[in-house]
Every structure is written in structure tokens, then in C-alpha cells.
Amino acid sequence: MENLDSNKPIGVFDSGIGGLTVVRQLISVLPNEDIIYFGDTARVPYGSKSNATVIEYSIQNAKFLLEHKVKAIVVACNTASSVALPALEERFNVPIIGVIIPGANHAVKSTQNKKIGIIGTRATITNKAYSTQIKTLGDDVEVFETACPLFVPLAEEGWINHDATILVAKEYLGELKSQNIDTLVLGCTHYPILSEVIKKVIGENVELIDSGVATADEVKMELEKLGLINKSNAKGSYKFYVSDVPAKFKEVAELFMGREVINVEKVELEHLQSF
Ligand code: DGL
């Protein structure tokens, strides 16, 4: 494997800002790791794009991170994790960790009545990424899936407890609620921001699975297995790259990261497209 140096940073990419919910979990589990984040803010959303386009963008994003000598790549975007993981694993010689498998594992461990709901972007749901993975873990588990595309702009607007969000959540989650699920996978980077409303609508007794939490644990395990944990006692440093102007990213980032985001730099799309 390339870049097998524990001092190197972890690379994380997402279609935009949402992946910061995963970075937040990574920082809490691996506080001594340096992180390089790339958010493809010029080409977001991925959730409504074709698989071919998402794969092409994901390969470019991974190449950009590898230019920065990352020791592992975390695909924070659920949509990209749903469709691009095999293409990335085939091309690149570093550990690549997506959010689907850890999220699915966590959900199967959590369910008691074996009825799991999945919510995500249209692409994630259409590709049946979570349900396929869950079925390989337990074929007696029933899975119910719903795309909730409007949750993405609502989260970015910061409408985390707004009447409009409650209305939209009731519309999207009504069918799932009637299926008597006991576990719901938040299969999109943005949804943890709305977990309060989602819980209110789906029912307090339904366990919400944040794929970012499960993924951070998985990254830690993978790095430990490969001897790639940074041995430094110093707090990690964080650098953020975006493909559109950084201003909007910085504005919303705090909500997603739970802290101020500095060190944001723009990457020219031509650079990504040159890969
Ligand atoms: N990051 C995407 C995901 O987790 C949501 C935003 C988008 O559609 O690009 O699926």
C-alpha cells in the first residue's frame, strides 16, 4: 500500500459540507490525527446525479486527496459510498472506508424487532446500498427505504427545529412510521443535523443510527489493524479544501462541525478535472 506512514493525514471527501458531520465524529474518536477534507461544493448535490458522474467525481476527489499524501481515504458522502467504492478500491492503493458498511453493521446490531428504516438521497435509496448490505448481515431483517431529498437544503439552511422541517419530515417519514421500525439509519451526511425533528416525528423509541459515528469507529479499527495510528500526543490539525468559494462553506460549517472552521482553501475545478 502507498503512503503507509502513520504521520500522514487522513483524507476525507464529501459532495460538499455534509461530510463535516463525519469529520466531527472522527475528531472525537481520533483526536491526534491530522485531517484533510475536500468538499466538492461546486458540484454538489451528488444525490440527484447519475452513478457514472458520481464515480467520475469521486475518483477525481480521491486523486486530489492522494496528492496531499493521505494515508487513508474516508468517503463521508453516502451517495459516493453507495456507488463509487468499488471503482476507488480498484484504482487506489490506500485503505478506503465508506459510510455504508459501518452504518449497516450498526443498524443490524441495534434492531430488536428486525425492522430497519433507511433514509437517504435519491441515489443512495435507488442503489439500495444500505438494504443490500443489511441483507448480507441478516436475511431475516426487513428493510424499508425512503428518499428524503428536501432534508439536505433544510439542514443547510439551519432549519433544525423549524415548522417547515417538521411538516416535510411528517410527509417523508409517515410510511416508515407505519411499518413499526425500531431502528432508522440516517443515510445521508446532513441528516444528523435534523435528528431532533426526525426523532420527534418517527418516535422517541426508534433508535437513530448516525453512519458517521459508526464510520469513525471503523476508521480507528482499520488504522489500528494497519499500524497507521498517529503516535503523536499533539492535537490533530485540520485543513479544508472546497471547489467553490469558501465563504458559504465557512458560514454553515459550524453547524455541521460543532466548532468554527478555519483554514479553508478553494481548489480550481480545472485542477480536479485534469486528473
Ligand atoms: N453528501 C450527500 C450524501 O451523504 C448529501 C448531499 C448530496 O446530495 O450531495 O448522500
Report residue 44's pLDDT band, with 50, 70 and 90 as the boundaries.
very high
pLDDT class for 260, splitting at 50, 70, 90? confident
pLDDT in tens, 239-250: 999 999 999 899
More confident call, 252 vs 125: 125
Please tell me which residue in 154, 169, 188, 267 is annotated as part of the active site.
Answer: 188
Given a cut of 60, whether residue 2 has pLDDT beyond it is no
User: Which amino acid makes up residue 159?
Assistant: W
* Per-residue pLDDT reduced to its tens digit, 75-123: 999 999 999 999 999 999 999 999 999 999 999 999 999 999 999 999 9
Please check whether residue 45 is in contact with residue 15, taking contact to mean a CB–CB distance below 8 angstroms.
Answer: yes
Mutate to test the pocket of ligand 1, among 152, 157, 211 (most ligand atoms within 8 A of CB): 152
Residue 1 pLDDT exceeds 80: no
Residues 159-173: pLDDT tens digits? 998 999 999 999 999
Distance between CA 196 and CA 193 in Å, rounded? Answer: 8
Q: What's the rounded Cα separation, in Å, for the pair 105 and 164?
A: 32
Fold of 10-98+213-273: Rossmann fold (3.40.50)
Q: Do domains 10-98+213-273 and 101-211 have the same CATH topology?
A: yes
For the chain, the structural domain boundaries read 10-98+213-273, 101-211
Give CA separation, 150 vs 103, 129, 227, in Å: 21, 20, 41
Cβ 55 vs Cβ 89: under 8 Å: no
Interatomic CA distance for residues 227 and 246, integer angstroms: 35
Mean of all residue pLDDT scores within the chain: 95
pTM comes to 0.96
- Residue 189 beta carbon below 6 angstroms from any ligand 1 atom: yes
CATH 3.40.50.1860, applies to 101-211: yes
